[in-house]
Amino acid sequence: MSYPLNHLRASRIAGMGRYAPARRVTNAELEGRLGLDPGWIERRTGIVARRYVTEGEALTDIAFHAGEQALQAAGIARNDVALTLLATSTPDHLLPPSGPLLAHRLGLNRSGAVDLAGACAGFLYALTLADSFVRTQGRPVLVVAANILSRRINPKDRSSAVLFADAAGAALLVPSDEPGAGVLGADLVSDGAYYDLIRIPAGGSRMPFTLDTAPEQLLMEMPDGRAVFTKAVEMMTNCGRIAMEQAGVRPGEITRFVPHQANTRIFELVRKALELPETALVSSIEEYGNSSAATIPFSLAGSVEQAPLKSGEKVLMTAVGAGLTAGAVVYGVP
């Protein structure tokens, strides 16, 4: 199907999907292993449980489920999808990228495909790029964010071991000629001065993998959790404020606030700083934990399952992740 570019104004989300593995890991299991007092994790993070993949499940396996749901919900011909963007920090392999395999498995035979490693902010970067592609090319784009972080957890690093989880979320964007649709405001930023706040030390060109590499060097670590907390609140708040200003949207007009599910204390501070209504908050962290880039589309898809998006809604999404990468998007529903 072709779309007349001269009439194209925006994109719209035609379908969403989400997937979480079946294995449910409770706080009690982790607290016992880490020597933490009962209730410690929930008090500090708001997390009660999270999902881990089972043996044999890989990144494209969980991404497939979310992408398939989004495609079915959108109901468009698969050959119409022009681009597949996979936001992940945990691909099937370091090489090749996983995006082409995902597109192949989904039957997207006319789609370009690429991975985007934007950490926890990866979905917002991919969404902004997808919206721009739809506007300029007039063709649908599938955005999938997925991570398997359970296999990157360092069990000795309490600050990260209690947080991370596995999940996938997806959104299928198609052209729209309706005003007030698509990305109305976006602010994408980075701060490399804090590059090492969240890291996997070995495996890249700075510290190549060798037979002598210590196993823990291949696992995630967060050496200064307090600094991560402070920068997350600061950057998510600033990006959110700028995105709303660009969109010309007041806080009271935000109908759904979908923050990265890093920590309930973080996104509550951001919500209050942005003066957003409490009723707008969309959260999945209690049951599903922090799956990095996947948390925003996963949470939004869950919200849409309960209450479909309505014309005129304004959705604010904001995130910060390793790098540091950060961003916010105001998305309008036609």
Element (H, E) at 187: strand 182-190
Catalytic residue among 147, 154, 238, 290: 290
| Euclidean distance between CA atoms 175 and 15, whole angstroms | 13
| Euclidean distance between CA atoms 201 and 66, whole angstroms | 30
Return the ∠ at Cα 40 (arms to 36 and 44), rounded to 5°: 135
Q: Which amino acid is at 153?
A: I
- 290 an active-site residue? yes
Q: How does pLDDT run along the chain (334 residues), one tens digit per residue?
A: 544 444 557 999 999 999 999 999 999 999 998 899 999 999 999 999 999 999 999 999 999 999 999 999 999 999 999 999 999 999 999 999 999 999 999 999 999 999 999 999 999 999 999 999 999 999 999 999 999 999 998 887 887 889 999 999 999 999 998 888 899 999 999 999 999 998 888 888 898 888 888 888 888 888 888 999 999 999 999 999 999 999 999 999 999 999 999 999 999 999 999 999 999 999 999 999 999 999 999 999 999 999 999 999 999 999 999 999 999 999 999 9
Nearest by Cα to 122 from 295, 301, 302 = 295
Catalytic residue among 65, 120, 147, 154: 120
Handedness of CA 272, 273, 275, 277 (dihedral sign): negative
User: Residues in the chain, how many?
Assistant: 334
- 239 an active-site residue? no
Do the bridges between strand 49-52 and strand 23-26 make them parallel or antiparallel, or are there none, so unpaired?
A: antiparallel
| Euclidean distance between CA atoms 273 and 230, whole angstroms | 13
Q: What is residue 306's predicted lDDT score, i.e. its pLDDT? A: 96
Catalytic residue among 154, 239, 260, 263: 260
**Residue carrying the six token digits 């907390």:** 229
pLDDT in tens, 157-194: 887 889 999 999 999 999 998 888 899 999 999 999 99
Q: What is the DSSP string of 73-139?
A: HHT--GGG--EEEEE-SS-S-SSS-SHHHHHHHTT-TT-EEEEE--GGGHHHHHHHHHHHHHHHH--
In Å, how far are 38, 187, 287, 334 from 43, measured between CA atoms? Answer: 10, 31, 14, 39
Q: What is residue 8's predicted lDDT score, i.e. its pLDDT? A: 59
- The 3-state DSSP class for residue 289 equals coil
- The 3-state DSSP class for residue 226 equals helix
- 154 an active-site residue? no
Nearest by Cα to 104 from 77, 84, 134, 130 = 84
Q: What is residue 5's predicted lDDT score, i.e. its pLDDT? A: 46
